[in-house]
Amino acid sequence: MQPSFLESRNNNRIAYVLNNGKLPCVVFFGGFKSDMTGTKAVTLEKYCIEEGQMFVRFDYTGHGQSSGEFKNGTIGQWKKDALAVINKINADKYIFAGSSMGAWISMLCAREMPGKIGGLVGIASAPDFTEKLIWEKLNVTQQKELQKNGVYYAPSCYGEEPYPIMLNLIEEARNHLLLDNNINLDIPVRLLHGTDDEDVPWEFSTRILQRISSRNAALTLIKGGNHRLSEPAQLNMLCEAVKTLCQP
């Protein structure tokens, strides 16, 4: 399906694909430097279509088919992109499903929409990754270089070219950190995380479980699962988690 586009306040074009159906509307939030054509997004879309469930996937600015440069993006900007798509759809009830960084952004969005979120699924959730997995992992020399040059080129885990980490991304993200404070979300939450995730340790999800205010929250650790969690059985677990939250 060809994407639709909406104009953001900073004159970027945000690409999204909407499939109409019954409520709640399932929204998929992609990960850092990912896009809406990934395996999890497309698999969940197919499942929702089969179930007659309303579903939307989208690209943040600087990602996929949206305009803008990746290096200029921030957590706050990508949250605004997500909210722009959600507000465009204007459904009465939503289920959020976020992968890696997308889980972080979905939690930030959910906090701004009390009463409209029926549940949230986090897949290899990576809140605060800019601070805990990038900034705090750099040595003093690397931190000084990043502060001096405004950019650090991080190696990719998937054989791709190194990608730029901008100082502005790190600094702006400090306005949105979650793990060191209480996460005030009183909605059903289901977390999925692989025990062999080398990008985002599964302890991130246990920290979410500890910090979140919801009493209806559960974590499933997937033995041998890596960060992508894109094997058929793992994708089925994602769809089942969404199915459970969609049920009245």
Q: DSSP for 37-71?
A: TSHHHHHHHHHHHHHTEEEEEE--TTSTTS-S-GG
Q: How confident is the model at residue 244 (pLDDT cuts 50, 70, 90)?
A: very high
**pLDDT tens readout for residues 71-120:** 999 999 999 999 999 999 999 999 999 999 999 999 999 999 999 999 99
Query: Please, which residues bridge with residue 112 across strands?
Result: none
What is the pTM for the complete model shown?
0.96
| Amino acid 8: pLDDT | 77
Please name which of 62, 98, 100, 97 lies closest in space to residue 81, comparing C-alpha atoms. Answer: 62
Following CA atoms 142, 148, 151, 153 in sequence, which dihedral angle do they give, to the nearest 10 degrees? -30
Determine whether 4 is an active site residue: no
HSE-CB at 149 with a 13 A cutoff on CA atoms is 11
Q: Is residue 152 part of a domain?
A: no
Residues 44/121, Cβ–Cβ less than 8 Å: no
Please name which of 60, 62, 30 lies closest in space to residue 43, comparing C-alpha atoms. Answer: 30
Domain count, the chain: 1
Enter the tokens of residue 110.
């959910």
Rounded CA separation 100/122 (Å): 7
| Amino acid 165: pLDDT | 87
Enter the tokens of residue 50.
């089969």
Determine whether 92 is an active site residue: no
Q: How confident is the model at residue 142 (pLDDT cuts 50, 70, 90)?
A: confident
Q: Is residue 75 part of a domain?
A: yes
pLDDT of 1 > 90? The answer is: no
| Amino acid 154: pLDDT | 77
Residue 132 backbone phi and psi in degrees, to 5: -85, -25
Compute CA distances 154 → 47, 124, 136, 139, 142, whole Å: 34, 20, 13, 13, 11
For the residues 201-228, what does the mean pLDDT come to? 98
Q: Is residue 53 part of a domain?
A: yes
Q: Is residue 133 part of a domain?
A: no
pLDDT of 59 > 90? The answer is: yes
Q: Which of 63, 176, 193, 227 is catalytic?
A: 227
Rounded CA separation 57/10 (Å): 21
Q: How confident is the model at residue 227 (pLDDT cuts 50, 70, 90)?
A: very high
Full domain range(s) for residue 92: 4-127+178-246
Enter the tokens of residue 162.
């190194």
Q: Is residue 210 part of a domain?
A: yes
Q: Is residue 145 part of a domain?
A: no
Residues 189/120, Cβ–Cβ less than 8 Å: yes
Count CB-CB contacts under 10 A for residue 91.
15
Q: Is residue 231 part of a domain?
A: yes
Determine whether 63 is an active site residue: no
For the residues 177-189, what does the mean pLDDT come to? 97
3-state DSSP assignment of residue 222: strand
pLDDT of 159 > 70? The answer is: no
Residue 183: DSSP 8-state: B
| Amino acid 156: pLDDT | 65
CATH code at position 79: 3.40.50.1820
| Amino acid 46: pLDDT | 98
Q: Which of 66, 100, 106, 125 is catalytic?
A: 100
| Amino acid 158: pLDDT | 56
Q: How confident is the model at residue 23 (pLDDT cuts 50, 70, 90)?
A: very high
| Amino acid 161: pLDDT | 76
Q: Which of 59, 81, 128, 197 is catalytic?
A: 197
Q: Is residue 230 part of a domain?
A: yes
Percent over 90 (pLDDT), the chain: 89
